Amino acid sequence: MFAQERREQIIKQLRIKKRIEVRQLEEIFQVSGATLRTDLRELEKEGKLLRTHGGAMLLENDLQKEDILSGRKNIEQKKFIAQTAIDYIKEYDSLLLDSGSTTLEFARELKNFKNLKVITNDLQIALELQENPWIELYLIGGKVRNRFRLTNGVISLDFIKNIAVDKVFLAPNALSAMDGATTSNEEMRAMKQAMMASSTESYMLCDSSKIGKRAFCKFADPSEFQMMFTDSGISQKEKEALEKKGMQITICE
């Protein structure tokens, strides 16, 4: 394998694992640690990763680019999830909606409801729901993350900590029995944890492509959710492992 091919494969491994150690790369590529450290230095110069002690991690921007691209995939599965999860909403509920492509599909299912209070940090969800005069809509203030259509930061957290709602619907970047629900950075972890703390019940919307994977920051254990909604692509092994951790799972088809 040529050096450039190996470096492309290293980036592919990082997109799956988010961080990796040189010793793991030695097992995968069967080349010396010195050669791999050279690869990592060159990839860091190109702005594709950040070297850490003994390995490397994917840069946050690359993680977020992957999230945006994944949001364009699995649309049918996300619609199934949204159409099933909507049965858990009743009139006069107050809801927190996390930012994400699956929660956006869920928000679209809310458009025909009456007498709901919805709070979100997602700009696109807010634009969808503001068309319905029967929904009392709140957009969480704070710093806008350019190109990612959401707000976060200290102002956002202060807002969330001063409200109390019935239910929150969250979308993780990744989910596994071993690592729990994870997201790409510390700011998003703080946001999701604040939303859960302000809600009586927490629900997860997670298409199967995210299951069995992990992102950089853990924000919750599987047992902290009343229900997780996913599609039929989840493996039996992952389903059983999550259930052993106390997670209730609904398969949406």
- Whether pTM exceeds 0.85: no
**CA distances, 195 to each of 18, 48, 165, 175, 200 (Å):** 25, 32, 9, 18, 10
Domains of the chain, residue spans: 3-58, 69-252
How far apart, in whole angstroms, are the C-alpha atoms of residue 99 and residue 169? Answer: 9
Q: In tens digits, what is the pLDDT along the chain, a chain of 253 residues? A: 788 888 989 988 888 777 889 999 998 989 998 999 999 988 888 777 888 888 888 765 544 544 544 555 688 999 999 999 999 999 999 999 999 999 999 999 998 899 999 999 999 999 999 989 999 999 999 999 876 789 999 999 999 999 999 999 999 999 999 999 999 888 999 999 999 999 999 999 999 999 999 888 999 999 999 999 999 999 999 999 999 999 999 999 8
CATH number assigned to the domain covering 3-58 = 1.10.10
Burial label, 146 (beta-carbon count in 10 A; 0-12, 13-18, 19+): exposed
69-252: CATH, from 1.20.1440.130, 3.40.50.1360, 1.10.10.10, 3.90.1150.10: 3.40.50.1360
